[in-house]
Structures are given as C-alpha cells and as structure tokens.
Amino acid sequence: MKGFPAQLDLGFAAGAAAIALEAGELLRGYFDRGVTAEYKGDVDLVTEADRASEKLIVSRLGEKFPDHGIYGEEGTRFGLERAYRWYVDPLDGTTNFAHGFPFFCISLGLEHRPQGLAQDQDGELTAGVVYDPIHGELFAAEKGRGAWLNRSSEPGRPLHVSRTRYLQESLLSTGFPSHKRHANPNIHFYQQLTLRSHGVRRAGAAALDLAYCAAGRVDGFWEFNLNSWDTAAGALLVQEAGGAMIRFDGSPFRLDSQEILATNGLLTGEILTFFADMFAGRNIDPVPTAAEFAARRLAR
Ligand code: IPD
Ligand code: CA
Ligand code: CA
C-alpha cells in the first residue's frame, strides 16, 4: 500500500488504515487456510477469524488511541462514555468468508460525541475506513476532508458517487438479514427494483456495499436490518463522496438506524417514492408465480 493520501495523513483515518491493513493480513491468512463456521443464530455465522480480527483491532486501537472507546460486533464494549467511539466490524461478509467467496472487509468508523450528549443522540462521524484485503482496496474518509481509495498499485484517488440520474439506468445493491428471515419483506423490494433498474447486486458485505456506492460502482444501496458496526464507516464514505445517507422515510441516517438507504443523491427522490409505494402496496409490477408460469408453459 503506497503512502496514505496527504489530505488524510494527520487524521484518525490514517491510524485506522494501518490497523485495518494489519487485520486484513490476518484475515487473508485464515481465508487461505479455510475456517470452520459456528452459528450465532438462524444462519448468522461466526468464525475464529472474526474473533481474532476483533482482538487484534481492539488491541491496536488501544495502543494508538488510548482515550477512545470501542463498540465491536464480537462483543467489545469499552469506554463507551468517552468522547470518541470506534464502531468495529472485524469481518464484514462472514458468510462469504466461510464459503471461500472473496468479498469481505474490515470496517472501522469513528464517532465524536461531545460532552453532555444524551446516550440516545448521535455524535458526528469523523473518520471511516473500509478495507478489502482480497482486492487490496482501502476506502477511507474524514469528515469535511473527502473520501479516498488507496490501492497497493497506485496512489490514493478521491472518491465520488456516480452521476446516474434515473432509476431505470442505475445499478443497485442490497443485502438480506440473517435473523428472522421469514419476517423480512426485502425480497419484494429486490424483485421490484430489479424490474426498474439495470439490476440489483447482493454481494454479501454491507460496509463494502456502502464503499462501492461511495466509489460510484453502484448508484444506490439499501438494507432493512443493519447495525452501527456495519454502517458507521460506510456512511461517512458515502457522505464525503457526495452521496446521501437516509432512512426509508427520507429522514437523516442515524447510527442506530436499522433500515438504511444510500444513494448518489440524484436518485433519492425516485427511490423514496418507490419505497412509499411499496409500503402502501401501490404501483407494484406483477410477475407470474412459478405455478402460473408452469401452467402457461404447458399451454404453449
Ligand atoms: C452481514 C453482511 C451482509 C448483510 C448482513 C450483515 P456480517 O454482516 O454485511 O451483507 O446483508 O445484514 O449482518 O455478519 O458478515 O458481519
Ligand atoms: Ca457486518
Ligand atoms: Ca461481522
């Protein structure tokens, strides 16, 4: 990895990037050797790599930023009353990882919480890093200073969301929850948005999906059931790359938002109208059931 972009050299993102690169090496080792997955829930997987990565990240964050708190997916709850708090997803895309599907990342997002802020209020996202060790891509952002992509082969370059204006010309992405799968309606959104766009990708790592939205590789991303460790870093990447982070009703994104929509800004209105229609059961394009399709095929 070449030098970190000068614009970010002095900030928290540079410290987090060094930690993410180290954790990425660790994950690559586990990925190449192969891991056994355990079940946290329904189909919610966890591996020794998730735990080892969180342990390493927590230890390095403690060395670099001893006065910061940490909130990690694999159980770390440390110093949560402090002015700075890291949201850590030590391995986003565990299902991919466990199956040898090379799309996963590390996500580190930093929130600044000024003194006196109530527990249920959000502070300000100030730094975010998402690192994909397989493709050697490090996405980083600092509040007010922009978002950048660093590759091992080239110097950092600024990230910008896409300029796609119309849903029918867009490429989108989404994800599906691993908890209470039978209670989730996202498959209907997936189907309808597939019919209205160039397509919807389900790649399996929400933080990387957000980074791809920031990089203009997809024009929008939505999911029903995310956590702050999935979204903290990616939300800042999208915002600093010029995009919009909102909830399904159009209100601003919050760290405790489970339903999130990221767009390039230009598609927000069209997608929000679509969401309102879906929740009201309006303007839904019919598609045949498999049985209807089979009956028609027989009749041909
Ligand atoms: C999951 C991934 C997946 C998303 C799930 C997340 P994990 O995170 O980001 O793409 O659809 O909602 O829970 O469990 O691999 O860290
Ligand atoms: Ca995750
Ligand atoms: Ca995870």
pLDDT at 2: 52
pLDDT at 10: 54
pLDDT tens, position by position, 73-127:
999 999 999 999 999 999 999 999 999 999 999 999 999 999 999 988 999 999 9
pLDDT tens, position by position, 21-73:
999 999 999 999 998 888 987 778 889 999 999 999 999 999 999 999 999 99
Q: Are 222 and 170 in contact (CB under 8 A)?
A: no
Residue range 190-209: mean pLDDT, rounded: 98
Q: Are 243 and 218 in contact (CB under 8 A)?
A: no
- Using CA atoms, how far apart are residues 261 and 271, in angstroms rounded to an integer? 9
pTM: 0.96
Please tell me if the CB atom of residue 103 comes closer than 6 angstroms to any atom of ligand 1: no
pLDDT at 38: 87
281 pLDDT higher than 90? yes
Strand partners of residue 131? 106, 138
User: Nearest ligand to the C-alpha of residue 91?
Assistant: 3
DSSP annotation string for 69-122: EEEETTS-EE-TTSSEEEEEEEEE-HHHHHHT-S--EEEEEEEE--TT--TTS-
Per-residue pLDDT band for 213 (boundaries 50, 70, 90) equals: very high
Of 153-157, 263-267, 296-300, the one with minimum mean pLDDT is 153-157
**Residue 92: CA count within 13 A, CB half-sphere:** 34
* Strand pairing class (171-174; 220-223): parallel
- Using CA atoms, how far apart are residues 100 and 292, in angstroms rounded to an integer? 37
Average pLDDT of the chain is 94
Please tell me if the CB atom of residue 206 comes closer than 6 angstroms to any atom of ligand 1: yes
Check if CATH label 3.40.190.80 holds for domain 167-280.
yes
8 pLDDT higher than 60? no
Atom of ligand 1 nearest to the CA of 203: 10
Q: Which two tokens stand for residue 129?
A: 């890093």
Report every protein residue that has its C-beta within 5 angstroms of ion ligand 3. Answer: 73, 89, 91-92
273 pLDDT higher than 90? yes
Atom of ligand 1 nearest to the CA of 209: 10
pLDDT at 7: 54
Three-state DSSP class for 211? helix
Residue range 6-33: mean pLDDT, rounded: 89
- Using CA atoms, how far apart are residues 271 and 273, in angstroms rounded to an integer? 5
6 pLDDT higher than 70? no
Residue 70: what residue type? Answer: I
Torsion angles phi and psi, residue 277, rounded to 5: -60, -45
| Portions of the chain given CATH number 3.40.190.80 | 167-280
Whose C-alpha lies nearest to ligand 1, atom 2?
A: 205
Distance of CA 230 from the midpoint of ligand 1 (Å) = 7
Q: What's the Cα-to-Cα distance from 68 to each of 64, 77, 183, 210, 237, rounded to whole Å?
A: 9, 11, 37, 25, 21
| Portions of the chain given CATH number 3.30.540.10 | 6-158
pLDDT tens, position by position, 139-189:
999 999 999 999 977 778 999 999 999 999 999 999 999 888 899 999 999
pLDDT at 35: 87
Distance of CA 282 from the midpoint of ligand 3 (Å) = 36
What homologous superfamily does CATH list for 6-158? Fructose-1,6-Bisphosphatase, subunit A, domain 1 (3.30.540.10)
pLDDT at 178: 86
